[in-house]
Structure 1
């Protein structure tokens, strides 16, 4: 084997063993699995099964449903965790500067390719195929002719039958006239509205988010906040100050990168945040599809070198309706692990999917298999080269422990710690 770029995957003995039964592992999967809890995963019984299947973190998405619903779900999570004797951190996902369309009529709206539709801030108008009201008054100031807009209930699933692609034709006062580019049926009570690569003058930490964090988040001492649509390091600093003022100093902030603005300021955001979530669904419509993979690989590499956890989203969308993922999705999960991702986030798969438990267990098995061929020694050398000399005391101790563990093929490193920092140093030194 020549060169540091070769992976352990190239070992012929390992490839020859693909069809043989996997050996039992001390830990089923080291890659963390974040499960979003909701309508299909709210009961104590289903949450217990998800925890047993490998769910490591429970995500509560406040862009959907209310605090009362999420409180009931969290209470069920605590019962389930106690029943299976497993700790499970709580992640609160903020709404952020998301523009939504309330479908007051509740009925489906048929959009036909080639037709025109007007986007208006006049929310007194009933949504229809000819006019769609949004809760944002400055859209006409932000967009220009030729800009791309997306709208749909499940906008970021990649299903073009439930989301519509619009092109700006002209602006008139506060209204925006658009050409419908594809035939689609908009259904459901709320549609998400996204403007591709255009700055939306709304705060990243909305007043709604502040209210949720100061009440539900503070009352439940949430462990992690996923800051949706993070666009700058200042967004993270603002949330840090807000958490300090509401007696949540230990709550970690994971910056969710969802658009080109977050990508442009990624390095500064990484330094401020405790972790990164690569929201590939949103990025997949804000960026050309061929550019998403490069950002994912680059971002994971930077997070690994900085010792910050990184989570990838939108991995097994087909499992929303099917018992098995596609071959491409399974390979995608494994490649994310081989790139160095620390976690996989399941959204709709566990929130409203038909097979939430199977989604968790399937992703866990793929991650565990990929981990067996992950080149840990090479990753350790990369981190050591990046940190350089002189090395901080804690990192020096952690690197010595990890180096020894690699040499003796230890199954685990037991760390005695008060704050958890020493354990995190050991984890991200790999």
Structure 2
């Protein structure tokens, strides 16, 4: 196959962080390895960065940012949620309820700002809940879906209930602890305006890094301020997981196209991410909709498409990348030869 213009980003995790698998992923088409700093520990992060660089790959570290995640719980995890079941989200284990499963979100959430009937999504929308009761100590939610609720998974409210600074302390610590490591790109989570980019660039410089900065667009503030963010950053990521919570899900494809178009207009790097080949986390073959999704991102002008759980914890990481490479090849071929070589 000819070299593709569109790059593939693969997230490193337990399924892919050994040197043999990483080399196989590169051979299958991976250009960039993503190290998600929200999971695992610093020594594992350092080892993954060094292995990727030794193999000649580009490395992107993904900062935790102000993302809300499941913390301590009153029940063992994973916990299998049932449709119609009520659970309690709170900020402290001291406020757990005896009458229902309780889950702490140990970061600055102002639960009193929540509204009845607002949506709450967990794990990029795999689980969806509706708020039924609101109090300053937390919210009682009812499940509209079923499945396992796992440790450290992200929680997204359809209304912003937080007031975080542009660059949170956890991000500053991560940069300091990884100072001197040979990463090339830093992805900043939940970028709401250009201030995050300015502060992050200053923080990187303080530790001797000139890494490029990718702004992850994940909420309405980021969308509203998109042009200023694009101008300040080296590129953007259309992070569809949380973005799909804070915006009408039916409008997400149009929003994606708008963001990609703006990045192309300003000649900035743009990544499309989240659930691109999600079914291949377990299965050997993608759905037709997933194939079309990847191809459309390429045709829209994305510079890279990203794999998350598919390669970090999935059963077939190399097969996933091989599949994505083939989709990219056929989509890009359309620009050169049209349909004549397809059938």
TM-score by length of 2: 0.90
Q: 1:200 aligns with which of 140, 150, 162?
A: 162
CA pair 103-289 structure 1, distance change in 2 beyond 3 A = same
The equivalent residue for 2:65 is 96
**Residue matched to 1:18:** none
- 1:22-60 deviations in whole A, cap 9, x for unaligned? xx52x2x11111111110001111000001111001110
* Map 1:279-358 → 2, pairs under 5 A: 279-314=239-274, 315-358=276-319
Alignment of 1:26-425 (within 5 A): 27=3, 29-79=4-54, 81=55, 87-104=56-73, 106-124=76-94, 129-151=100-122, 155-156=123-124, 158-159=125-126, 163-171=127-135, 174-216=136-178, 218-248=179-209, 250-314=210-274, 315-374=276-335
How far does the alpha carbon of each residue in 1:131-186 deviate from its partner, in whole angstroms, 9 at most, with x for none?
A: 322213542233233322223xxx11x43xxx241324332xx3233240424344
Task: Mark the runs of 5 or more structure 1 residues left unpaired by the alignment.
Answer: 1-23, 82-86, 377-430
Distance 1:119 1:340 in 2: 40
Question: 1:112: Cα distance to partner?
Answer: 4.2
Q: Is the 8 A contact 1:112 1:180 kept in 2?
A: no
CA distance in 1, matches of 2:206, 2:159: 33
Answer yes or no: is the 8 Å Cα contact 1:92–1:226 preserved in 2: yes
Quote the Cα distance in structure 2 between the aligned partners of 1:194 and 1:215: 28
- Is the 2:115–2:131 Cα contact (8 Å) retained in structure 1? no
**Contact 2:111–2:161 (CA under 8 A) maintained in structure 1:** no
Evaluate the alpha carbon distance shift between residue 243 and residue 78 of structure 1 in structure 2; reply closer, same or farther with a 3 A threshold: closer
Secondary structure at 1:229's aligned position in 2?
coil
Gaps of 5+ in 2: 338-343
1:255-309 CA-to-partner distances (Å, cap 9, x unmatched) read 0001111111111111101001001122122211111111111111111111101
- Pairwise CA distance, 1:192: 2.2
After superposition, the Cα gap between the structure-2 partners of 1:304 and 1:140, relative to the gap in structure 1 and judged at 3 Å, is same
Q: CA RMSD in A?
A: 2.1
Higher helix fraction (1 or 2): 1
- The more displaced of 197-206 and 300-309 is 197-206
Q: 1:367 to 1:200 in 2, by over 3 A?
A: same
Instruction: Tell me, yes or no, if the aligned pair for 2:50 and 2:182 is still in contact at 8 Å.
Output: no
1:91·1:222 contact (CA, 8 Å) conserved in 2? yes
Q: Deviations over 1:114-133 (max 9, x none)?
A: 45433222224568844322
Counterpart secondary structure, 2:190: coil
Change (3 A) 1:295 1:375: farther
Distance 2:288 2:163 in 1: 40
What CA distance in whole angstroms lies between the structure 2 residues aligned with 1:127 and 1:50? Answer: 46
In 2, Cα distance between equivalents of 1:335 and 1:287: 20
Residues 52 and 59 in structure 2, CA contact (< 8 A), matched pair in contact too: no
Gap change, CA 1:107 and 1:295, over 3 Å in 2: closer
Q: Contact 2:89–2:141 (CA<8 Å) still a contact in 1?
A: no
**Cα distance 1:52–1:191, how it changes in 2: closer, same or farther (>3 A)?**
closer
238-247 or 198-207, larger mean C-alpha shift: 198-207
Give the paired residue count.
334
TM-score (norm 1): 0.73
More relative contact order, 1 or 2 (CA 8 Å, 6+ apart): 2
Aligned-partner SS, 1:33: strand
Q: In structure 1, how many angstroms separate the alpha carbons of the residues matched to 2:94 and 2:43? A: 28
Task: Give the superposition deviation at 1:200.
Answer: 1.6
Equivalent-residue separation in structure 1 for 2:240 and 2:314 (angstroms)? 19
Structure 1 or 2, whichever has the larger Rg, is 1
CA distances 1:38-90 after superposition (whole Å, capped 9, x unpaired): 100011110000011110011100111111111222233244x1xxxxx3111
CA distance, structure 1, for counterparts of residue 242 and residue 324 of structure 2: 21
CA distance in 2, matches of 1:273, 1:231: 12
Give the secondary structure class of the aligned counterpart of 1:373: helix
